[in-house]
Amino acid sequence: MPDALKDNLNDELVADLRDRLESIEPRRFDRARFVAEISPTLHDLELKDRVALVADAIRVSIDAEYPDALAAVVAVSKTELNPWAGWALCSFIERHGLDHPEPSLSAMETVTKAFSCEFAIRPYLDRHLELTTRFLRRWVTSSDEHVRRLVSEGTRPLLPWGPRVAALTEDPTIGLELVGQLRHDESETVRRSVANHLNDIAKADPALVVETLTEWIEDDPPVNDKMVRHALRTLVKQGHPGALGLLGFTIDPHVNVMAFTCEPDSVDLGTQIALAATIASTAPEAQLLVVDFVIHHRTARGGTSPKVFKWTTLDLAPGEEQTIIKRRLIQNASTRTYYPGEHVVELQIAGRTQATTSFTIRAGTP
């Protein structure tokens, strides 16, 4: 099993892709050059640079004009290909096809099934917005869920790992018009992408997302509840009144936090903390509460960086008291490094801080 994501794009994969390209283009594909372009530096590179290296090697190793090389790439994408190799095929179109937008966009409809052209389509949206949007409108009705997902994922304003597209951030209705047509999609994968797209928009224009989902909930039939909750997850953590109200949560909580503790209060990496909170209702009516916790992680420079984590929802009757417990493993991950020192933890209800505690990571832990 690979030690890191980048190790999925390895010598074995390159050899397999080489053989597939040669079988498609036996006369014009330079097998030796393909290997020579990749082998000397592959293992020194991180994942995205490895993808780009292989994509560029494909281009220089096929002795043909771009449209003919593209045809070979499309043909290879139809074989039973490792998805990591499929990413390199998508990257080929991203890096070498911008001067040939129509055939490149046409090819994406096929190649995206081998990996996903969500990154590859971004430069086309940037440089050829009107043309690319015409393709996207057509793909909305595709019979293939991978193609429909490309519509939503490829136009996300804040696509992770993807370059920003000014038009999409300046005018989110460009993407919203497209994903609106996918809101009842039969595929859970597509609906989740629609939710992620809306969550991106919510970070810049919460009102637009709440207004849009309010309309969608009033559809006949209404949109999927799970999709709505996923789309509003950031706004719920922020305690946005419109988002909380749309999901039926209490906007203005009336509670007393009787206790909020963290045990143990000093830990090594690789061990768990247990957060415990006792919450009592002071309201004369039932309350449905969103409860989260915020860890203020220490940074390498000695500052702190807060991160909100979901905890639970509480259905509290008038005067009721409940104790909840949350365990969390404190360990490094690809997206976060823990540093020694005190880490403040906040108890957050409906987006409002109600109590604080802390734990300390001991110095010298691995």
Chain CA centroid to CA 41, Å:
29
Residue 78 resides in a domain: yes
The residue with tokens 């370059």 is 163
Crossing angle, helix 173-180 and helix 206-217, to 10 degrees? 20
Burial classification of residue 329, based on how many CB atoms lie within 10 Å of its CB (0-12 exposed, 13-18 middle, 19 or more buried): exposed
- Distance CA(62)–CA(60), nearest Å, equals 6
Residue 365 confidence (pLDDT) above 80: no
246, 270, 288 - which closes a domain: 246
What CATH number should be reported for the domain holding residue 42?
Answer: 1.25.10.90
Residue 235 resides in a domain: yes
**CB–CB of 120/90 below 8 Å?**
yes
- Count of the separate structural domains present in the chain: 2
Give percent of the chain above pLDDT 70.
Answer: 98
246, 266, 285 - which closes a domain: 246
- Distance CA(276)–CA(255), nearest Å, equals 16
Check residue 335 and give its pLDDT. 80
- Distance CA(8)–CA(211), nearest Å, equals 42
* 219 and 354, same domain (yes or no): no
Residue 366 resides in a domain: no
User: pLDDT digits over 76-106, tens only?
Assistant: 999 999 999 999 999 999 999 999 999 999 9
Give percent of the chain above pLDDT 90.
Answer: 95
User: pLDDT digits over 110-127, tens only?
Assistant: 999 999 999 999 999 999
| pLDDT band at 366; cut points 50, 70, 90 | very low
Task: Tell me if the pTM is above 0.85.
Answer: yes
* 293 and 212, same domain (yes or no): no
Check residue 4 and give its pLDDT. 82
Residue 44 resides in a domain: yes
Check residue 1 and give its pLDDT. 46
Residue 50 resides in a domain: yes
Residue 310 confidence (pLDDT) above 70: yes
* 239 and 322, same domain (yes or no): no
User: pLDDT digits over 126-153, tens only?
Assistant: 999 999 999 999 999 999 999 999 999 9
Angle CA 180–211–247, to nearest 5: 100
216, 246, 276 - which closes a domain: 246
In terms of residue numbers, what domain contains 21? Answer: 5-246
User: pLDDT digits over 218-273, tens only?
Assistant: 999 999 999 999 999 999 999 999 999 999 999 999 999 999 999 999 999 999 99
Q: How much is the mean pLDDT over the chain?
A: 96
Residue 126 resides in a domain: yes
Check residue 2 and give its pLDDT. 60
